[in-house]
């Protein structure tokens, strides 16, 4: 029998925990319907639990009844969403992660100071879309997965850069190095969340100590996918949402199993996976 090594940083980050607390408090303190525009966090089980408590996820403001409560999720939203919600008679409660809110304010400041705003991140990610919306769409989005696609003719002499909070340092550095020769001035704000940095560093360290790494989190979670990518550089790594997805064949001849988890993964999901692994492994060791 071998060991299970569980990352100490695995699980909810501050922003996610805060958003959930705000959501649950909104439900308990108000009789009106409570809505969230888009998933509060990228974890299907958590979203299902919120639905069971009467907190409904909607995809458009038109789905919300006037007089209800609208929660702005941890990824944030642009100012037009706030205005449209109030016009529809909704009370808005902002659960945007403070680190995302800071990213938005920095982007707005860069724009005011005459910089062309660059947002490094997945153009389809709600956080990135919200940051772009806060500067009225006047931003260039550079996808770190395809940075070479940036239209060089659109680059101006003064660039101001912020980045998606769940990027890796390597992704940010790649884009910065690409942009430097294209402009006269590049002002960079490293808005990668410290919790993201810690998790990624831990995942890399853990992956080098184990024979297999299981990363728990929603399949639509950007930060979880990044942990999988990092782990895969060192050892066989599998992205799972629950213990039901574990294939026992993965564990054959594996003495040490590592467990990490994304920022949207609750502790009970981590505990379930650890309990399942105890069928094959005796020791749980946090690293």
Model confidence pLDDT, tens digit, residues 68-108: 999 999 999 999 999 999 999 999 999 999 999 999 999 99
Residue 283 predicted with pLDDT over 90: no
Mean pLDDT value across residues 150-154 = 73
Residue after which a domain boundary falls, among 96, 126, 153: 96
Provide the domain limits for residue 149: 99-188
Residue after which a domain boundary falls, among 163, 188, 213: 188
pLDDT band at 17 (very low <50, low <70, confident <90, very high): very high
Domain identity same for 90 and 106: no
Question: How far is residue 152's CA from residue 179's CA, in Å, rounded to a whole number?
Answer: 9
Mean pLDDT value across residues 137-163 = 88
Model confidence pLDDT, tens digit, residues 200-239: 999 999 999 999 999 999 998 989 999 999 999 999 999 9
Domain identity same for 78 and 27: yes
Residue position matching structure tokens 């949207």: 264
Domain identity same for 87 and 108: no
Domain identity same for 25 and 86: yes
Q: What pTM was estimated for this model as a whole?
A: 0.88
- Per DSSP, helices labelled H in the chain are 14-29, 44-52, 79-87, 98-112, 126-134, 169-179, 194-207, 222-232, 267-277
Catalytic residue numbers, as ranges: 127
Domain identity same for 156 and 200: no
Domain identity same for 58 and 111: no
pLDDT band at 175 (very low <50, low <70, confident <90, very high): very high
Domain identity same for 130 and 170: yes
CATH no. for residue 243?
A: 3.40.1010.20
Residue after which a domain boundary falls, among 188, 209, 231: 188
Domain identity same for 92 and 103: no
Domain identity same for 199 and 140: no
User: Whose CA is closest to 104, among 75, 124, 125?
Assistant: 75
Domain identity same for 209 and 265: yes
Model confidence pLDDT, tens digit, residues 49-65: 999 999 999 999 999 99
Domain identity same for 8 and 19: no
216: left (phi over 0), alpha (psi -120 to 50) or beta: beta
CATH no. for residue 55?
A: 3.40.50.11270
Number of domain units in the chain: 3
Domain identity same for 242 and 265: yes
């Amino acid at each position: 029998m071998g060991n299970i090594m569980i990352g100490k940083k695995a699980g909810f980050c501050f922003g996610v925990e805060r958003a959930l607390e705000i959501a649950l408090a909104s439900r308990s303190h108000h009789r009106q319907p409570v809505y969230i525009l888009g998933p509060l966090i990228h974890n299907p089980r958590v979203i299902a639990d919120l639905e069971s408590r009467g907190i409904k996820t909607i995809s458009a403001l038109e789905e919300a009844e006037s007089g209800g409560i609208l929660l702005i999720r941890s990824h944030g939203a642009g100012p037009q969403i706030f205005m449209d919600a109030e016009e529809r008679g909704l009370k808005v409660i902002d659960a945007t992660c403070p680190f995302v809110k800071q990213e938005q304010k920095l982007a707005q400041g860069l724009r005011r100071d005459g910089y062309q705003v660059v947002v490094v991140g997945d153009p389809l990610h709600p956080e990135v879309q919200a940051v772009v919306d806060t500067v009225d769409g006047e931003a260039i989005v550079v996808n770190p997965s395809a940075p070479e696609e940036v239209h060089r003719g659109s680059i101006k002499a003064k660039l101001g850069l912020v980045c998606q909070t769940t990027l890796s340092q390597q992704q940010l550095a790649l884009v910065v190095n690409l942009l430097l020769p294209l402009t006269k001035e590049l002002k960079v704000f490293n808005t990668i969340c410290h919790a993201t940095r810690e998790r990624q560093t831990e995942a890399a360290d853990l992956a080098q100590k184990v024979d297999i790494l299981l990363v728990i989190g929603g399949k639509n979670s950007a930060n979880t996918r990044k942990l999988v990518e990092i782990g895969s550089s060192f050892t066989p790594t599998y992205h799972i949402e629950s213990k039901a997805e574990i294939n026992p064949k993965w564990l054959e001849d594996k003495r040490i199993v590592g467990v990490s988890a994304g920022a949207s993964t609750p502790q009970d999901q981590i505990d379930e996976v650890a309990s399942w692994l105890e069928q094959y492994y005796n020791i749980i060791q946090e690293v």
